[in-house]
Structure 1
């Protein structure tokens, strides 16, 4: 067993929770801390993050599906997962526990509260998530990604750190945006979140096919689609004469973003953090069923900064998207201005700032003890 200070990072199993947790883990490890990730089976299965960090995978299940039976099963899974985490903490007590939201973070944060271990919460979205709301009152600190985050309880110790981005993205952040010029390529990246999005596969290929021949010939598209949609999306682009690469998942999103001149995506927090860091203009389609409508709140911040264009899911049709793209491609200066707007929202020091706060809390607790 190492003598290094010991930090637990607890995260939901989606990219939106895992990516900022990994960014903070990098900073903590560099500072000499030992880190363990606590997550669920989804997080345990993501292979391109936390490759060198120990993982504790819980059998926790979501309360968001399965009706009454699913909710009861979720409560039991959280209960037994909390017992498992407490046993883990008794074997080796962490210095600090950090929760990044999502139901799989609850057992570790709850165990920390029960065992009087200091804990910190990080919120990626513009609306405080349900787990973070439940646990905020006794947190040493709640770190927020944006000013005026909604639904933060009163009398909670907060700080605005921004949303940590992976080291790779941060290292690429200062590379200039290249606006499409003359008759050159127009490079598009289509993202649907960590699991892809069917609506992107339904709408975007048809919308791009509706553009004029001049624009279609210039398009160079990278499109993330669900595995079951790859074949039909590939056919749609081929039939429209559009150059496109379609994959269920892109490992090198940073490299693709570096080349991309316009992104069409959901408005999940980690996606937006990476877009702001790299200054990539975007058309955003918030997920309508997102908890507390947090994706719409995220996208509204981008739109208000002149950094992108928001289309509600109910309005996201091929015809509407074709019309918007026609207008944007007619005057590429709007895309350049949106790139500048994105960069005004970037918080490139978020990972270091949050890691420093965690270290300070751990040091303070050690002195008290």
Structure 2
């Protein structure tokens, strides 16, 4: 018999959906029924998300200064809030957990308004706009990279880490054995769940500048946006480099597990997965993020010696080519970087977050939870 329904709300990008998916697996294993509230963008992840039911609730972000656009967004939010209130009243969840992104706003406003124990999980080192708007209303704030001393919300913040999916935990069991001189070098390139156009031109251009004997060793797995895919494939074919290029890889965790080196953006889920799996990386934070959250996430891993961080504006093809050449010729350094990354990983974050959800659902305060779980989230 189910212990009750836990309603998870997440924006429809991998950075929000993946940690929600990890928590869903853990809660299901503990006997809870899990429902997901999201938007239509999450359809690509639905096949692997262990939800008993998925609900799409209208929502919108207010990013425009155009009065007509603002009015439309407010109306959509109002419609979404009414739908979310009906959904929460019908399901009677024991707890609601939001993972950021504007689709979480209606269900969390509804749950807090109806008195349902509610939590938000912030993946990044800097709180996003949706979570900022909800922070004062919820019982607890769980953080991936948030400091426990979280300003005015320190008393209800728990540093749980970012939950990672079972596929990531499986990949973490693969030992890191960097390729030696003359052996195939597996390079994995991705820009988060939505891709990164910058890498579509920068990485092939950098590999083009490498010496023939190094270039022949490289095998590339690269995520590219649909509109860039054909040109990226053509670039690698011209160079004679073996490459698997796709807009989305359902088995990205295992591909990271097989990688010698990863080049990627530094979203919270990406950094957390690289840490748990333990792979060296070159991180290029997305330069246009409103809160510079990717730079803060990357800095945490870099400070531990688990990654190199380069600003996009400073990463010329020549610079990237030099970094790749050094990586191919220094396997011992890659091993040390991989070990440093793995030392920062939090493979049990989903369990800690599930413990917090159960505690808040039972009426415990965050302070009581911390007292009973000394050393957790402090």
1: CA distance between counterparts of 2:44 and 2:331?
Answer: 40
Equivalent residue number for residue 320 of structure 1: 319
**1:148 and 2:147 matched:** yes
* TM-score of the superposed pair, with normalisation by structure 1: 0.94
Once the two structures are TM-superposed, the CA of residue 352 in structure 1 deviates from its matched residue by 0.8
Equivalent residue number for residue 263 of structure 1: 262
The residue correspondences of 1:299-310 to structure 2 (distance < 5 A) are: 299-310=298-309
User: Is the alpha carbon distance of 1:108 and 1:314 closer, same or farther for their aligned partners in structure 2, counting shifts above 3 Å?
Assistant: same
Secondary structure of the residue that 1:181 maps to in structure 2? Answer: coil
Equivalent residue number for residue 246 of structure 1: 245
Secondary structure of the residue that 2:35 maps to in structure 1? Answer: strand
**1:297 and 2:296 matched:** yes
Q: Deviations over 1:304-330 (max 9, x none)?
A: 111111111211221211122222323
**1:211 and 2:183 matched:** no
2: CA distance between counterparts of 1:266 and 1:149?
Answer: 25
* TM-score of the superposed pair, with normalisation by structure 2: 0.92
2: CA distance between counterparts of 1:143 and 1:285?
Answer: 26
**1:54 and 2:68 matched:** no
Q: Which runs of 5+ in 2 are unaligned?
A: 365-378
Secondary structure of the residue that 2:58 maps to in structure 1? Answer: coil
Secondary structure of the residue that 2:138 maps to in structure 1? Answer: coil
Secondary structure of the residue that 1:127 maps to in structure 2? Answer: coil
1: CA distance between counterparts of 2:211 and 2:2?
Answer: 64
User: Is the alpha carbon distance of 1:149 and 1:215 closer, same or farther for their aligned partners in structure 2, counting shifts above 3 Å?
Assistant: farther
Give me the CA root mean square deviation: 1.8
- 327-336 or 205-214, which deviates more: 327-336
Once the two structures are TM-superposed, the CA of residue 281 in structure 1 deviates from its matched residue by 0.7
The residue correspondences of 1:272-283 to structure 2 (distance < 5 A) are: 272-283=271-282
1: CA distance between counterparts of 2:272 and 2:297?
Answer: 10
Report if aligned partners of 2:34, 2:51 keep a CA contact under 8 Å in 1. no
The residue correspondences of 1:340-351 to structure 2 (distance < 5 A) are: 340-351=339-350
Once the two structures are TM-superposed, the CA of residue 180 in structure 1 deviates from its matched residue by 1.6
Equivalent residue number for residue 201 of structure 2: 202
Equivalent residue number for residue 371 of structure 2: none
2: CA distance between counterparts of 1:249 and 1:324?
Answer: 26
Once the two structures are TM-superposed, the CA of residue 52 in structure 1 deviates from its matched residue by 4.5
Equivalent residue number for residue 78 of structure 2: 79
User: Is the alpha carbon distance of 1:186 and 1:66 closer, same or farther for their aligned partners in structure 2, counting shifts above 3 Å?
Assistant: farther
Q: How many residues align structurally? A: 364
Q: Deviations over 1:126-176 (max 9, x none)?
A: 111112122212321111112527965345401111100001211231321
- 84-93 or 131-140, which deviates more: 131-140
The residue correspondences of 1:2-41 to structure 2 (distance < 5 A) are: 4-41=3-40
Q: Deviations over 1:53-73 (max 9, x none)?
A: 311102222223585443332
- 9-18 or 248-257, which deviates more: 248-257
User: Is the alpha carbon distance of 1:44 and 1:328 closer, same or farther for their aligned partners in structure 2, counting shifts above 3 Å?
Assistant: closer
Report if aligned partners of 2:120, 2:138 keep a CA contact under 8 Å in 1. yes
User: Is the alpha carbon distance of 1:277 and 1:156 closer, same or farther for their aligned partners in structure 2, counting shifts above 3 Å?
Assistant: same
**1:119 and 2:153 matched:** no
User: Is the alpha carbon distance of 1:260 and 1:34 closer, same or farther for their aligned partners in structure 2, counting shifts above 3 Å?
Assistant: same
Report if aligned partners of 1:127, 1:150 keep a CA contact under 8 Å in 2. no
Once the two structures are TM-superposed, the CA of residue 47 in structure 1 deviates from its matched residue by 3.5
User: Is the alpha carbon distance of 1:67 and 1:207 closer, same or farther for their aligned partners in structure 2, counting shifts above 3 Å?
Assistant: farther
Q: Which runs of 5+ in 1 are unaligned?
A: none
Report if aligned partners of 1:133, 1:153 keep a CA contact under 8 Å in 2. no
